[in-house]
Structure 1
Amino acid sequence: MSERKSDISGWLVRRATWHLWVVLGVVLGALVTRTARVTSDGGMDNAIVVRAARVWLAGGSPYDDPHFLYLPSAVLAAAPQAMVPRGVLSVVVPVAVVGCLVGGWVCALRLHGVGLRTRFAALGLIGLAVGFAPFAHLVLLGNWTATAALALPLALLLAGRGRWVAAGVVCGAAIALKPLLAPMGLLFVFAGRWRGLGALVGVPVVASVGAGLLMPDPAGFFTRTLPFLLRGDDGFVRLYEASPGAVLARVGAPGVVAAVVGFGMAGVGVGCAYRRWRGGEGEDGGAGASRIVETAVMLMLSAFLVSRPSYDHYLLVVVPLLVAGAVGRGPWLWMAMVPQLPGVVWPGLEAVERRAFRDAVTLCGVAVTVAVRCWRAGGSFSPPPPLPVPSSRGSAPWTPAPQTPEGLNRADPF
């Protein structure tokens, strides 16, 4: 491992001093403290789920609230919160959200073979917390997107080690809480891992059917929530949607045109993801975890481009994976994230209700960056090398990326 002062990568992969960990603790502690002081029920979005659980415990239907966009299983998961004092939730929920984000970052580092004690590990998380606005937004809102931000890197880490069924269980559990990782089903289809796909589908289905039978309106998700999502005509939600279709509609584009643009971009993204998967890990395909990460991220971004709603904090599901990997070595990802710098006033977009335009620029910029990477790295459609499969003793160990002087993957895993 090179540790020359002129080698920025070598400097980053050296062991972090205790000062950096103190700074990281102060930053994350400040986020939790501020959220605890200014919110109740752990944040506005968490409060929606908790309120739905309270309605259910009182004998009502959680789907009476049109902003409750979760599966029935989420109601049961939120029920314990409904019995906890609001003051306690104001502390516990932001701690849990920060814990999920930290856990997702740790899994992303392990996935790419970056040491957990390195300066990059500490500085990367500090940078996300203070330099990427959706990080603080997610903590402040207490949105359950945090579960997906942890589940996706963990699932990819398991899949990279050949444990596809376990990866499917992790994704399925996250979908049962919030159906954000549903596009990951395509990754299992690409890989031909049908048992893993069965776990991904089966876990939320079983959990939701079981929970639905305990509710007065068991089909409420299909009769109320899905029509609400398909219409996308809620005035409050529309102000914060970052998908191209939603933003184009706000500037006067016909609905059909906006929909065609959104679905077209999503279709191109899925095609790039498939090409990346088929390209394997050849000379242009990167090494180590690049193939599975970039395929999965492209699938998620394709969904974000067309989903209604699509919020800025959805990017926390994929950005840590990109920052920790090969995409983060280039300038284009960082250029796409510029609109998310906290404290920068963008003319004409100062109002909170207009930040969706900035979010759309970042979403599209990140999607284009990953799509280009997938297309170039995909190369020819030659059969990819097989991923590790479980051994008789368990699962094959994950093989870190080759030790090259150009990248951060030269660090020894913790």
Structure 2
Amino acid sequence: MRRATWHLWVVLGAVLGALAARTARVTSDGGMDNAIVVRAARVWLAGGSPYDDSHFLYLPSAVLAAAPQVLIPRSVLSVLVPVVVTGCLVGGWVCALRLHGVALRSRFAALGLTGLAAGFAPFAHLVLLGNWTAVAVLALPLGLLLAGRGRWVAAGLVIGAAVAVKPLLAPMGLLFVFAGRWRGLAALAAVPVVMSAAAALVLPDPAGFFTRTLPFLLRGGDSFVRLYEASPAAVLPRVGVPGVVAGGIAVAAAGAGVGCAYRRWRCGDRGPLRLAETAGMLMLSAFLVSRPSYDHYLLVVVPVLLAGLPREGSVGRGVWFWLALVPQLPGVTWPYLETGQRRAFRDAVTLGGLAMTLAAHCLRSGRVFPPLPVPSSRGAAPSAPHEAAPGRG
């Protein structure tokens, strides 16, 4: 490794260490969002229902996943959680680089992660909250990396495990549908279903996720949740748009995004950009319509797209991609959006800007490359040159 590159990694280590250390000093139970899950596990161990807390928005399997944290002293947990969250974010960046064939010793590898940590506000926000979105940040590029190598069943297991912890990556099932990888899709669905069913058997309220959490989400949460949501269905009513109209706009935008994702998948370029951009479009479409939809959800998509910057034709090479990220620059105060309760408007601009930029890129790709042949009746999509033989997936 060249000395200049080594120096960049030293700077990166200092930035990441500072983020984790600050979180350890100012939080308990590893952050506000992690504390919600730990509190739910404590309630369960005491004989109560974790779904008594309306802000516990996870599947039953997450209760068992959080239970070991109850046994860890809070002083240790306050240090351990930000370190683990930071590790997930770093691991996700490494997998995204490997997906695009970028060398880990390159300057871009160090500069890209430094830019995310120091120049993209949701990165520090996610570490501070200790939110389990970090699992999805790691699982998505890892799953795409496995899929790119033809290992679709393994990819389904990885993404399914992430869904069992937090159902954020559930829309990725559509990627398996587009590819005709039915065994991978079955693996993705089976993991959270089996784990949640097993966990529900030991909960006092086994159907609590369906009887309490889902109605809470369908109602749009509560006044606290709505203040920080970035989806159009949550933001537009705050500026006077009727809720029904705002919801319709969100659904229409999400549907159009799914159509653009399918268009991108059907394009004839078979490199890793096809996987990354299709997955990114699917996830952004889900964030447009999902309730809740927070700023740190963007970290699921941005690193996978950013890591493809060295590749010709990447969406990251367009100016609109970077303009969409401008509202997330830390330390920049925007007129009329100074208070934390109005941050959702900035997040909505970034979410909408990224979605429109990637959608336009997907449509342009459809004009540049001819559509791929329709998959055979066996349901196996044509394998890309960088993928392994279809029989492995």
The alignment's TM-score, normalised by the length of structure 2, stands at 0.93
Q: CA deviation at 1:288?
A: 2.2
Structure number with higher helix proportion: 2
Contact 1:339 1:359 (8 Å CA) reproduced: yes
Please show how residues 1-80 of structure 1 align to structure 2 within 5 Å.
16-80=4-68
Q: CA deviation at 1:17?
A: 2.6
> Does structure 1 residue 386 correspond to structure 2 residue 383?
yes
Matched residues in 2 for 1:205 and 1:378: separation? 36
Work out which of the residue numbers 221, 224, 231 in structure 2 matches 1:236. 224
- CA, structure 1 residues 30+305, in 2 after alignment: closer, same or farther (shift >3 Å)? same
Contact 2:221 2:292 (8 Å CA) reproduced: no
Q: CA RMSD in A?
A: 1.5
Alignment correspondent of 1:410: none
* 1:386 partner letter: S
Matched residues in 2 for 1:265 and 1:187: separation? 18
Alignment correspondent of 1:147: 135
Contact 2:150 2:383 (8 Å CA) reproduced: no
Q: Which secondary structure does the structure 1 equivalent of 2:135 belong to?
A: helix
Q: Which secondary structure does the structure 2 equivalent of 1:183 belong to?
A: helix
Work out which of the residue numbers 276, 286, 290 in structure 2 matches 1:307. 290
Matched residues in 2 for 1:14 and 1:279: separation? 38
* Equivalent pairs, count: 377
- CA, structure 1 residues 266+391, in 2 after alignment: closer, same or farther (shift >3 Å)? closer
| CA displacement 1:71-117 (0-9 Å, x = unmatched) | 00000000000111111111000000000000000010010111100
Alignment correspondent of 2:147: 159
Matched residues in 1 for 2:40 and 2:170: separation? 22
Matched residues in 2 for 1:152 and 1:33: separation? 26
Work out which of the residue numbers 254, 274, 279 in structure 2 matches 1:291. 274
Q: CA deviation at 1:21?
A: 1.1
Q: CA deviation at 1:332?
A: 1.4
* 2:225 partner letter: V
Work out which of the residue numbers 199, 210, 219 in structure 1 matches 2:207. 219
Work out which of the residue numbers 113, 128, 136 in structure 2 matches 1:125. 113
4+ long deviations beyond 4 Å: 13-16
* 1:321 partner letter: V
Matched residues in 1 for 2:7 and 2:166: separation? 37
Matched residues in 2 for 1:147 and 1:280: separation? 31
| CA displacement 1:259-296 (0-9 Å, x = unmatched) | 11100110110000001111130xxxxx6201111111
Matched residues in 2 for 1:288 and 1:274: separation? 16
Matched residues in 2 for 1:167 and 1:15: separation? 36
* 1:354 partner letter: R
Q: CA deviation at 1:390?
A: 4.1
Contact 1:148 1:180 (8 Å CA) reproduced: yes
Alignment correspondent of 1:84: 72
Q: Which segments of 5 or more consecutive residues in structure 1 lack a partner in the other structure?
A: 1-12, 282-286, 396-414
Please show how residues 139-288 of structure 1 align to structure 2 within 5 Å.
139-281=127-269, 288=271
Q: Which moved more, 1:169-178 or 1:318-327?
A: 318-327
* 1:18 partner letter: W
Q: CA deviation at 1:18?
A: 1.9
* 2:272 partner letter: A
- CA, structure 1 residues 136+220, in 2 after alignment: closer, same or farther (shift >3 Å)? same
Q: CA deviation at 1:138?
A: 0.1
* 1:300 partner letter: M
| CA displacement 1:293-331 (0-9 Å, x = unmatched) | 111110000000000000000000000011111122222
Matched residues in 2 for 1:273 and 1:131: separation? 28
* 1:120 partner letter: F
Q: Which moved more, 1:145-154 or 1:327-336?
A: 327-336
Q: CA deviation at 1:16?
A: 4.9
Q: Percent identity?
A: 77
Please show how residues 340-355 of structure 1 align to structure 2 within 5 Å.
340-355=328-343
Alignment correspondent of 1:284: none
